[in-house]
Structure 1
Amino acid sequence: MEGLLAWAGNPNQEPGPPPLPLIGNMHQLGYKMFVRKIRSNDAIREWAKEYGSVFTIWIGPMATVNICDYTTAVDSMVKKGSAFADRSIPYIFRLVRNDKGIIASNGAPWLEQRRFALHTLRNFGLGRNLIEQRIMFEFEIACERLGKRLDAGEKSIDPHRIFDLLVGNIINRMLFGERFEKKDEEHFFALKEELDDATKRFTIFDSMVDEWNVHWPLIKQRTRSILHRIEPVVAFIRGQVEKRKREIENGSRNLQGEGDDYVDAFLIQMKKERESGAPTSFE
């Protein structure tokens, strides 16, 4: 009833396919995905052609505004990102980090984490020559290894693993200051496989999971199957952070300035926030 009143009582609502009470547009989306066998993002594109690049679809009783235009998306989410601090977060995302971090938080905590992330990444070279140097470093290593395989007589090489590792090493160096060496590569691909599988399993219907239905047998089983595949990735990140804390405690690593990577910068900021005594999202 609340969703129906919101739909009927908002003349400024962006256009979109007409919803039904309680289920919204899920019946139409389900028809596109399971009868016509098209992916959810292709279904969204079809609606964008019909209703324009900015339109509304209802996920159950909740209205969601979809932006399908690059220029509008950048203007709204990047240039005016602070205006979208109070956005709806799917409950299944919130379960991973208990409403913490930059992905699953909302409101003031999200704004604080967003500002910190943008500031820190710029300091580490995002958008400048420094990040270009790191990219070229990994690119040269990848090309060298590719050349060796070609010299060894390989005629057909799948480039996916090469570029996955290249991108993974760039990100890992920015986060933890180290790359995946030869002995760690299979661990990287195992983590990526788990994350890819979780992403493939997640559909727009999973965004309807909430506190009131997450314990229903079928929903509970499905939610667990998705979260189970994310756990190794979370454990890897947690292990890297705990390792860094131990290095700082035993004196083998000194934090100076704004740190050498994202974890350093976060721990430095966390210490500052604790010493100030002010409420903070750095936990």
Structure 2
Amino acid sequence: MEPLGTATIFLVLCISCLVFLAVRSRKSSHGNLPPGPFPLPYIGNALHLKTNQLAQNLRKLSEKYGPVFMMYFGAERVVVLCGYDAIKEALIDRADEFAARGRLPLADEINKGLGIVFSNGERWKQLRRFTLTTLRNFGMGRRSIEERIQDETQYLMEKFRDMQGKPFDPTFLLSCAVSNVICAIIFRNRYNYDDQKFLALMAHLNDNFSILSSPWGQLYNNFPSLMKVVPGPHHRVQTNIQRLREFVSEQIKMHKAILDPTAPQDFIDSFHIKMDQENHNGASEFNMDNLVNSTVDLFGAGTETTSSTLRYGLLTLLKHPEIQEKVQKEIDHVIGRTRSASMADRGQMPYTDAVIHEIQRFIALIPLSLPHAVVKDTPFRQYIIPKGTTIYPVLESVLHDSKEFPNPGKFDPQHFLNEDGTFRKSNYFMPFSAGKRVCAGEGLARMELFLFLTTILQNFTLKPLTDPKDIDLTPKLSSFGNLPRSYQMFAVPR
């Protein structure tokens, strides 16, 4: 019986391989597919990838297969784009064809295609258009939201002073400060930094970003059917999101009870009014499920990405005290140490602006962008990309392009400075992605990064607990996101 069993298994494997190869290599009506490494049945190209260095692995593969190549993440066929030219051609020049959201199984399992970030088609168009309009109406890019950020910087400075020279981890302080800005827009409220419910929400967001960026998150996205039954921290993502939905649902009920349709105060009010206006429109996407999911999307995206960028940025400045000193000299010259920084100051502060851009370039926070997909069979260069294929634009390959940014692995603000010291713009600066799916909160994030970082360095000198040369800037986790290593610091009043 044993030889027969072995022979049967061997035969099944052979047949599986032949079928898989036949499916992969067939031209069919799609014509030529992009080249790529040889996949194995079920596991695809898992053996070609390191779970904690995904973007670097994909960039290395592009050296062999070119800027447009195909891989199998588990059983799913994906197309990878590397380099500025390929990504610009897809996301900007041919934005409509690459505008769909690709599959990300761990997120898809939770969102079910609802909300802003992971929706598609008419739902995405309606919700994104409404969201952009509403964010503008409530001050994104206008003086009112700048004042909210300025106010929040002062609460953050109080917390830094409360440390009284003792070392501390800035993670949750930065998360609370940044989150309060988006909370003002969607909830019309801010929360104290010691509010236990609020801190729990910050912990849920931080945990989810860590899990998505860990090998557990990558394994789930490659093998969702298997990972659903495998124990591990990836199961916490659903629980964390449920806690966020419960909090948002409470806020929605409270808003509904006191809603004044003639004077909306925030995103939730505006969505309620839109729901009432389209109550009899069967094609409307303005319903309670999309309200909850859209609010969670804004809350999460408006908190975690900017706070993680600030956290990574402070660690980078701890590593480079000479750069921190130059920023402080510019702050003292342009703003002084008594008045609050404003966005009007940025134009007179090219070095500070360059440092902030270099932080975003260097860390490449979301190295692959969120996945895109093609909306139809798409001729792209000499290939045909079949409808629905998930597309991964490796943003890190643009942000770390050695022709545009000499020595891209080195943190150097000169990447964004001209020889005369003026600020240098670059089309390769794509930390917010590009095209139709560019981050809806880009303007808000830029404002927060400038005002928070400038205010911190205006009031404090940051010092590490160890020798700066011993600080490791390589990510602790690197797949969905590049997450900084945990650290503590001193904030010494100036």
Give the alignment's TM-score, normalised by structure 2.
0.46
In the aligned structure 2, how far is the partner of 1:223 from the partner of 1:141?
Answer: 34
The residue type paired with residue 282 of structure 1 is F
1:188 aligned to which of 180, 198, 202: 198
User: Which residues of structure 1 form unaligned runs of 5+?
Assistant: 249-253
Q: Contact 1:85–1:108 (CA<8 Å) still a contact in 2?
A: no
CA RMSD of aligned residues (A): 3.3
CA, structure 1 residues 226+144, in 2 after alignment: closer, same or farther (shift >3 Å)? Answer: closer
1:198-217 → structure 2 map (5 Å cutoff): 198-202=208-212, 203-208=217-222, 213=225, 217=229
- Of 139, 149, 153 in structure 2, the residue corresponding to residue 139 of structure 1 is 153
The CA deviation string for residues 103-159 of structure 1, in whole angstroms up to 9 with x for no partner, is 232222112212222222222222333332222221122123323x25xx3332333
Residue of structure 1 aligned with 2:252, choices 235, 241, 262: 241
Query: Which of 50, 67, 70 matches 1:56?
Result: 70
- 2:261 maps to 1:255: yes
Alignment of 1:106 onto 2:120: yes
- Relative distance call for 1:175 and 1:53 in structure 2 (3 A) is farther
Q: Equivalents in 2 of 1:181, 1:82: separation in Å?
A: 43
Whether contact under 8 Å (1:3, 1:61) holds in the other structure is: no
| AA matched with 1:58 | Y
Tell me the CA shift for residue 179 of structure 1.
0.7
Q: Which has the larger radius of gyration?
A: 2
Structure 1 distance, partners of 2:64, 2:226, is: 34
Residue 168 of structure 1, CA deviation = 0.8
| Superimposed CA distance per residue, residues 165-189 of structure 1 (whole angstroms, 9 cap, x where no aligned partner) | 11111111111111112552x3222
How many percent identity over aligned positions?
A: 28
Match of 2:111 among 97, 102, 118: 97
Change (3 A) 1:190 1:108: same
Work out whether 1:267 is the aligned partner of 2:279: no
Distance 1:127 1:87, change over 3 A: same
Which deviations, in whole Å up to 9, do the C-alpha atoms of 1:27-74 show, x marking residues without a partner?
322xx23xxxx4334433433555555543321332223345578757
SS of equivalent to 1:117: helix
Give me the whole-angstrom Cα distance separating, in 1, the residues matched to 2:141 and 2:32. Answer: 38
- The aligned residue for residue 124 of structure 1 is 138
CA pair 158-23 structure 1, distance change in 2 beyond 3 A: closer
SS of alignment partner, residue 116 of structure 2: helix
The equivalent position to 1:281 in structure 2, one of 285, 293, 302, is 285
AA aligned to 1:63 is: R
* Residue matched to 2:459: none
Structure 1 position 218, deviation (Å):
2.5
Alignment of 1:20-35 (within 5 A): 20-29=40-49, 32-33=50-51
Query: Measured at CA, do residues 51 and 6 of structure 1 come closer, stay the same or move farther in structure 2, by a change above 3 Å?
Result: closer
| 1:83–1:281 Cα change, 3 Å | farther
Q: Which amino acid aligns with 2:268?
A: V
SS in structure 2 at match of 1:113: helix
| Counterpart in the other structure of 1:230 | 241
Structure 2: give runs of 5+ residues left out of the alignment. 1-18, 288-494
The 3 A distance-change label for structure 1 pair 74 and 178 is farther
| In structure 1, C-alpha distance between the alignment counterparts of 2:111 and 2:76, rounded to whole Å | 23
Contact 2:181 2:190 in 1 (8 A): yes
TM-score normalised to the size of structure 1? 0.76
- Give the alignment of 1:81-96 within 5 angstroms: 82-96=96-110
Deviation at residue 5 of structure 1 after TM alignment: 3.2
Call closer, same or farther: CA 1:137–1:82 in 2, change over 3 Å. farther
The answer to whether the 8 A contact 2:172-2:202 is kept is no
> Is this contact kept in 2: 1:82–1:111, CA < 8 A?
no
Change (3 A) 1:83 1:46: same
Q: Tell me the equivalent position of 1:251.
A: none
Amino acid at match of 1:18: F
Give the aligned length: 263
Higher RCO structure (Cα 8 Å, ≥6 apart): 2
- Which of the residues 160, 185, 189 maps onto 1:178? 189
Instruction: Give the stretch that moved more between structures: 259-268 or 190-199.
Output: 190-199
Secondary structure of the residue aligned to 1:65 is: strand
